[in-house]
Amino acid sequence: MARAAREKAAAPSAGFSRESLLLNQHVILVTAAVSVLLGTLYPLILDALGLGKISVGPPYFATVFVPLMLPLAVLIGIGPLTRWKQDDPTTVMRRLLPYLIGATVSGVALLYAVAQHMSIMTALSVVIALWVFATALRRPVRTRAQSQGGWRSVHALSSA
């Protein structure tokens, strides 16, 4: 207890930082867990109270769960490009733009080559998945490139 009184309080994180993104991700995950719990327990509670039997299936989860996961995926893509404690949203958007353009072009090309009749949600999901994948690979690729002689090592990374 005496040591706690001597320690300085940590500097609060700003409104836009990696910490705030992690907090928002956790809020979305808890909300998704509650929606799954509700979809699982609601029919059981109605049956136990004698109010009838209902079935909660794919339509419920597609309506409730998918709209929660898309913003989560967007936040997961932003996270690796955001600094701890404080960051500028404009700077982050400049860092995100090449990944967003690359994921959009790649996703549309992939979906056009594979399935020419697709839903908007499918296209959006593929683009966001490619974007999350690209932003997650940013740090390992840059670290490898800087430590072993530039872009030649990126080629070595892909052939390893």
SS3 of 95-149: HHHHHHHHHHHHHHHHHHHHCCCCCHHHHHHHHHHHHHHHHHHHHHHHHHHHHCC
Residue pair 33/88 in contact by the 8 Å Cβ criterion: no
Q: For 8-57, write each residue's pLDDT tens digit.
A: 655 555 677 777 888 888 899 999 999 989 888 888 888 888 888 888 88
Query: Residue 60 — very low, low, confident or very high, per pLDDT cuts 50/70/90?
Result: confident
Does residue 151 sit in helix, strand or coil? coil
Question: What is the average per-residue pLDDT within 118-128?
Answer: 77
Query: Residue 6 — very low, low, confident or very high, per pLDDT cuts 50/70/90?
Result: low
Residue pair 109/52 in contact by the 8 Å Cβ criterion: no
What whole-number distance in Å separates Cα of residue 115 and Cα of residue 54?
A: 35
What whole-number distance in Å separates Cα of residue 77 and Cα of residue 127?
A: 11
Report the b/e string of 113-129 with b at 16+ CB within 10 A.
eeeeeeeeeebebbbbe
What whole-number distance in Å separates Cα of residue 13 and Cα of residue 5?
A: 21
Q: What is the pLDDT of residue 159?
A: 56
Q: What is the pLDDT of residue 150?
A: 55
What whole-number distance in Å separates Cα of residue 103 and Cα of residue 130?
A: 5
What whole-number distance in Å separates Cα of residue 98 and Cα of residue 80?
A: 14
